[in-house]
Amino acid sequence: MTTRVAFSFPAFLSDLRELVECESPSTELAAVARSADVVARVGAARLGVLPERIVLDGRTHLRWRLGTGPSRVLLVGHHDTVWPTGTLATTPFSVEDGVVRGPGCFDMLTGLVMTFHALASLADVDGVTVLVTGDEELGSPSSRGLIEDEARLASAALVLEASADGGALKTERKGVSLYDVRLVGRAAHAGLEPELGVNATLELAHQALAVAALADPALGTTVTPTAARAGTTTNTVPAEGSFSVDIRVRTLAEQDRVDAAMCALVPVQPGALVEVSGGPNRPPLEESSAAALFARARVLAAELGLPELTEAGVGGASDGNFTAGVGTPTLDGLGAVGGGAHAAHEHVLLDAVPGRTALLARLVEDLLARPVGRPSETTNDLQTSGAARP
């Protein structure tokens, strides 16, 4: 590997501190905009060029297109975090005994800094695109189209989300579908004439059980009714109720099966109505999408003298679901090694950072020289994006 800039721990930690100490909760547009300014400045200092600022629905995203050639390798990350402004007062940035702590350090600000330092080490990055979004923790409502469009241009997508346990790369992520089920009944006095009503609470119970039965543990499909409500007063037959449903699947076929079943729900009680809205939110990142990239990464890790790479499938989603969903080979979890995402004990293990950064650089260099083929000529674009159905 031809290196231009050697890895420097002081420079790395200085950059990471800047990002962590600029708090960036997804829900605060001004905070996300300020964070984008910091990420742009830190990235430009390492890459030698400022990014494009892309503001969609008030949320600020950054894109670096490096070199003059067409995009060939896409690196994806996000600068928004789940931590509210003020978290630094109780959980400040710190480095002690080889462990970094601070809000967002693991998910996923370390991955961003790794990206900048890895690319800065390469003599040639022509054809690399870096996309840093500002709404991933909300489900990427404004950036999804941008991510998919960039992924379609590239032959491979590398996602700098934090690793799985023990530093494992993420070669499979479950797809996510989200639904709201509304039950409509008819009100009546619960004591005088309940027989004249149609009880939305009972209908909710029937439908929640029917929905939960769509799960298939053998295939890794989870279907979970979550938040629910029904009724108005204790002496009225409920005329309306609703519940939400969280669905996780390993394959597009399972996502389609469950979607069809959700859309086919019918009322159990005479006179009741069932209305279903929502749908697939993120396609699955199937193992087949990551297989070739993971195999290549394992070889490169061995050449660099790094510990043998491991892989894992996880239930949580990322923007890697979107890049894989349009047919682009995708390898996820290339970022920090540590733990505690979204938790008070969030942390990064520093001793893994130089090797992971070197691996990322070597993988980018290799993909620029030898593009990986797509798993198929067809894409797995979702037919819906969670829009309400009639």
Place of tokens 């390798």: 73
Place of tokens 């089920």: 181
**CATH number of the structural domain 175-282:** 3.30.70.360
Count how many Cα atoms sit within 13 Å of the Cα of residue 24 in the half-sphere of its side chain.
32
pLDDT at 373: 75
Of 79, 127, 109, 78, give the one whose Cα is nearest residue 14.
109
In this prediction, residues 3-15 reach a mean pLDDT of: 90
Tokens matching residue 293: 């990239």
pLDDT at 387: 34
9-173+284-369: CATH architecture? 3-Layer(aba) Sandwich (3.40)
Residue 384 CB coordination number (10 Å): 13
- Is 80 exceeded by the pLDDT of residue 375? no
pLDDT digits (tens, 9 = 90+) for 331-343: 999 999 999 999 9
pLDDT at 389: 35
pLDDT at 352: 98
pLDDT at 1: 58
pLDDT at 2: 55
Tokens matching residue 240: 């309306």
Which amino acid does the sequence have at 10? P
Q: What residue spans define the domains of the chain?
A: 9-173+284-369, 175-282
CA–CA distance from 236 to each of 189, 193, 239, 363 (Å)? Answer: 5, 10, 8, 64
In this prediction, residues 323-336 reach a mean pLDDT of: 98
Give me the percent of the chain exceeding a pLDDT of 70.
95
CA–CA separation, 285 and 233 (whole Å): 45
CA–CA separation, 110 and 5 (whole Å): 18
Q: What does the mean pLDDT of the chain come to? A: 94
pLDDT digits (tens, 9 = 90+) for 248-278: 999 999 999 999 999 999 999 999 999 999 9
pLDDT at 386: 39
- Is 80 exceeded by the pLDDT of residue 291? yes
Tokens matching residue 379: 């894409």
Map residue 99 onto helix, strand or coil: strand
Give me the percent of the chain exceeding a pLDDT of 90.
93
The residues assigned a catalytic role are 80, 136
pLDDT digits (tens, 9 = 90+) for 276-288: 999 999 999 999 9
pLDDT digits (tens, 9 = 90+) for 33-88: 999 999 999 999 999 999 999 999 999 999 999 999 999 999 999 999 999 999 99
Q: What is the pTM of this model?
A: 0.89
pLDDT at 309: 97
pLDDT at 374: 66
CA–CA separation, 322 and 149 (whole Å): 10
Of 260, 37, 54, 73, give the one whose Cα is nearest residue 159.
73
pLDDT digits (tens, 9 = 90+) for 205-233: 999 999 999 999 999 999 999 999 999 99
- Is 50 exceeded by the pLDDT of residue 378? no
